Amino acid sequence: MTTPLSDLLATALAARGPLIEGLLAEQTDAYRLFHGTAEGLPGLTVDRYGPMLLAQTFHRPLDAAQLAELEAFYATALPGLPLIWNDRSAGNSRIANTLHPEQQALAHTPCEFSELGVRYRFQARHAGQDPWLFLDLRAARRRVMQEAGGKSLLNVFAYTCGVGVAAAKAGARHVVNVDFAESSLAVGKDNARLNELPIRVRFIKSDAFAALRQYAGIGQPKVVRGKRMPPFPELAAHRFDIVFLDPPRYARSPFGVVDLVNDYPALFKPALLATEEGGTLVCCNNVAQVERDAWLEQLERSARKAGRPLREVEWIAPEGDFPSVDGKPPLKVALLRV
């Protein structure tokens, strides 16, 4: 017998009661309310982002009855928080469903939310597909804020610069965010403006490989195998106290290939060389099929070959609103003392 959706939602909300109470005390009003993979309906997620709820479907769309049940449950459980549904079950994960005009306007209206006292911009629908802040990375942002005081930080694949803004808010003395997408950096700049930051945060539009190689002192040639490379900002070699590396599963550019399954070291080595001796390198891998310990062995081998063996490893697990059935969450975050 199939459990009614409203029962699944109620069980998930009740399980999060103590966590949500603690998060609100920390000035956090953004968290996952329902994690379908572990809570009874794979492919459905429901997140709170401050004054709004965002439901997303990844395997199959909701039918009319399910959508009505979802909206009715949260209208009672969390009154006053409108819910927007983004169906991303198509092959390319692009949002496929249309909304009523009133909901459409609401989905494109910017609002704000707070995480650990840091303010962020949110919009349920925008030119991209993913929400502007990944909530499963909260534990990593929390850890970076604990580390950042008085230190320099390089945030690579920065997206909307959540890690960089959080570090600056926590007292970092120098923060650089690197991403190839101007639109993502624009949101990052908005996020910085929302907060009274004690420093001026830098935003660099660049391919990650080009930036990392230059910071690492390896250098980025302007011509490779007879081909002129696309323009990139010229950066001086520089080592950072903390480097945060959160790459996508796979991406290809003229500068290199990001491949979290087969070749994480291609990124790891220049990131390691851009990290101060005795510094901290935080590496993320969000591919479920990559086994945690095998990935760590790969990083350890790469560090030894680079002459910078790892001194200490700390795993940062997602917080309680991202439960895992087998204790092996897809997102793996390793804090490495190097």
At 96-108, the pLDDT tens digits run 999 999 999 999 9
Q: What share of the chain is helix, strand, coil (3-state, %, to 5)?
A: 35, 25, 40
Helices marked H in 195-234 — which ranges?
Answer: 208-216
Give pLDDT, residue 187: 98
pLDDT of residue 93: 86
| Average pLDDT score over residue span 75-97 | 94
Confidence at residue 157, expressed as pLDDT on a 0 to 100 scale? 98
Tell me what percent of the residues of the chain surpass a pLDDT of 90.
97
Question: Which two structure tokens, joined as six digits, stand for 119?
Answer: 């303010």
Q: Which two tokens stand for residue 280?
A: 């901290």
8 Å CB contact between 131 and 47: yes
10 Å CB burial of residue 185 (0-12, 13-18, 19+) is buried
Fold of 5-109: Transcription Regulator spoIIAA (3.30.750)
8 A C-beta contact, residue 154 and residue 178? yes
pLDDT in tens, 263-293: 999 999 999 999 999 999 999 999 999 999 9
Q: Which position has the token pair 């895992």?
A: 324
> What per-residue confidence (pLDDT) applies to 322?
98
pLDDT at 320 over 70: yes
Residue extents of the structural domains in the chain: 5-109, 135-337
Instruction: Supply the pLDDT for residue 92.
Output: 82
Mean pLDDT (the chain) is: 97
Work out the percent of the chain whose per-residue pLDDT is above 70.
100
| 5-109 and 135-337 in the same fold | no
Which homologous superfamily does the CATH classification assign to the domain defined by 135-337?
A: Vaccinia Virus protein VP39 (3.40.50.150)
- Determine contact, residues 171/149, Cβ cutoff 8 Å: yes
Predicted confidence (pLDDT) at residue 2 exceeds the cutoff of 90: no
State residue 110's pLDDT score.
Answer: 96
Q: Is the pLDDT of residue 1 over 80?
A: no
